[in-house]
Structure 1
Amino acid sequence: MTKYLLRRFANYAILTVVATVFAYIAAGSFFYPRRRWLGQNPPIPEASIDAALNELNMNDKVPILQRTWTWLSNIVVKPWSQKLGKDISGQWVIDQMAMRAGVSLRLLIAGALLGALIGVALGVWGAVRQYKLSDQVVSYASYILISTPTFVGGLLLMVVATKLNQALGTQLIRFSGSYSPTYHAQGGMTAFLDSVNHLILPTIVLAAFGAASYSRYQRSIMLDVLGSDFIRTARAKGATRNHALVKHGVRVALIPMSTYFAYSFGTLVAGAAFLEMIFSWAGMGEYGIKAVQQSDVNALAGNVCFTSIVILFSSMLSEVLYAALDPRVRV
């Protein structure tokens, strides 16, 4: 079991490195950071622009393979905070990642876990009550959510929260930023509740959209399991319907869902990026979108590195769940 997990971790770690390097090469090949200094009045001398880009290792006059080699060399020899270089604003990318990662992880972890739990429960419920009213309602609601862009759901919830606050005459739900301006002065439980309040709306969006996808997959898998021979055998041995479904059916149906959880995390990260922009969260998603807008090669590479690491750990979690649900993997 341990050797199996270590092998899987090594594979995912290699893929993380490869994804980050390819992201740097792609961004360095197609981005044009020089435009940040062009069109100024008075014009900035080209030598000054080249000097600024050389300091950031983003000079498009330098071959991309040479820039990539310099970037990789810095990762090896530079101190920890300088390994990924500076972004186009002159800030160290690692420092920005350290400040923003916690903001994004709060949203990602809460949304992913709630979406998975709710989606699996709704999928099992829909399969057991196939074609009944509850199954139809869940199915139609899921299809509506799946076909709706994430940012639209976020905007709609913001409108609803604004109307609710106006009706109550108080700021019951706060959704601008990840915390209030007085967060650091509050401290203790008050600060914690303030951050939770700001987390409510984006978490609802991520959890709802995630649950919609999970419920469709779980329902389909559960329907296949319900017609399996081992369910009929368990019933023939005297097990009640609920006992056979929970102990045998749900456990088997969860095996492919553990794999789906890991690979759907990439979509979840993308959805969280747009929500961070909408709700003004200074997280890694916002950092990545701004990196694309500003042609910031180093910042984009750091963002891809963060996303790859998050998917790495979600993949490892799915491997652990897979091994726990399927004894054959442990052998």
Structure 2
Amino acid sequence: MTFAVDPAVDSIYIGGSVAAGLGHSRSDADVFVLVKDDIPFSMDTRQITEDGRRVDVEFHRVSDVGRMTRALTSWNANLSNLSELRVSYHTIHFVGRLHYAQVIKNSSTLAEVRQILEDNLSSLRQFLIARRALDSNGLFEDFRGAYSDGDIDSASILGHDLMISAGKAVAAACGDLYVTDKCVFRQLKRSAGKNFPMSRYRGMMTGEWTKRPGGYDHFVDFLQSCFMAALTLGWHEANARHWTTWSISSKNRHRSTRFFPLRFDEGIVFNDELNRQIVVSPYIGLLWGLSPEDDATYIQKSIFYSSISEEFHQINENVCWEALHELTQRNLVVDALTR
């Protein structure tokens, strides 16, 4: 790469699926060139060939790299201001690739930015999960509308998109932070662990749920489970691989299919678009996620999760029953006939 010796070039690294260990034999390589701010330079993306492989080369100013990295590592969002979550997809993809960078030409600037990213991986993980949930919340309303109108084809397409985001949220919650959608299956296979029901996920992605009785309820239940695993066990620690509540086991109660879970500064937010939002503490959110279990399993899993995450340390058997009563009173948990 002749531009490697150009005095305007600060540093160079390889990003993309190849660097993240998610590429295949025909994957192209993505090269990122950081250019000093005060030197004129053509910033147009280029495509070259190296050793028979296509290489896409992007150019970015050094100052932009720090700005984009801080946007995803020093953020907060609350119900009255979601602007810090609405970062451009370009920025999200750039920072995601930077995390997996294989450095070709280093510099103090690149080393500093990568250290900031390394020191704030929890913030990056939380951003990726929260953004996937926020984007999916809007899709979920379209999905509900299409299904209720009998437009199963549109619901199937929207369901596919929802499952991509759900899978990416679970992957991020397991510490796999690569951003591009096309790698979701490979990420889940390598990171989500043996508890994740890959065959069920694949069926939800391909629309098999539309062909079975009660398919809509099972789809929404699985979607909620994916996001609850990410928003609780995957939030402060990348522990979502420990989640095992992937299907309904209780004959008496279920999560309401009207609500979609989000997480902001206030806590877990259950959103029923245009009707109401219910804000609960994260531990109550976790117990909502576990509520489809039968009584004994509900208690057992709740106590176990309290032992692996400090955020849920206050959970005990009494708390479990009190929370279930509260969730039922607020119609977040319903019986089988009213969900």
When the two structures are superposed, what TM-score results if normalisation uses the length of structure 2?
0.23
- Point out the structure with the larger helix share: 1
When the two structures are superposed, what TM-score results if normalisation uses the length of structure 1?
0.24
- Point out the structure with the larger strand share: 2
For the pair shown, which has the larger CA radius of gyration, 1 or 2? 1
Tell which has more relative contact order, 1 or 2 (C-alpha 8 A, sep 6+).
Answer: 1
